């Protein structure tokens, strides 16, 4: 897909087509990380905001699957090398 590079103040700007915006899940005010590769490609990646609630829920689900009984903890301590 071709887009036009235009002057915006002292900078250059690119307008993102609505299809790209929807596919990336962007909305006005979102930030993207811009990286220029050694080949000269410009890559824009949406920044992921940290969702503490979702993170804690995921950690809770993962922790629930761990077999951390007293016997398991004792085995881990016995095998520890100092």
Domain chopping of the chain, boundaries: 5-46
Residue 4: partners with Cβ closer than 8 Å, 6 or more residues away: 14, 15
- Give tens-digit pLDDT for 28-79: 989 999 999 999 999 999 887 777 888 899 898 888 887 767 777 787 788 7
Q: Which CATH architecture has domain 5-46?
A: Ribbon (2.10)
Give the rounded percent of residues in the chain with a pLDDT score beyond 70: 96
Distance CA 43, CA 34 (A): 6
pTM across the whole model: 0.51
């Amino acid at each position: 897909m071709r887009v036009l590079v235009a002057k915006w103040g002292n900078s250059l700007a690119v307008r993102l087509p609505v299809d790209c915006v929807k596919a990336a899940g962007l909305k006005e005010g979102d930030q993207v990380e811009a990286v220029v590769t050694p080949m000269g490609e410009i890559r824009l990646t949406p920044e992921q905001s940290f969702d503490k609630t979702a993170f804690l829920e995921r950690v809770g689900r993962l922790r629930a699957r761990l077999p951390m009984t007293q016997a398991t903890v004792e085995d881990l301590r016995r095998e520890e090398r100092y």
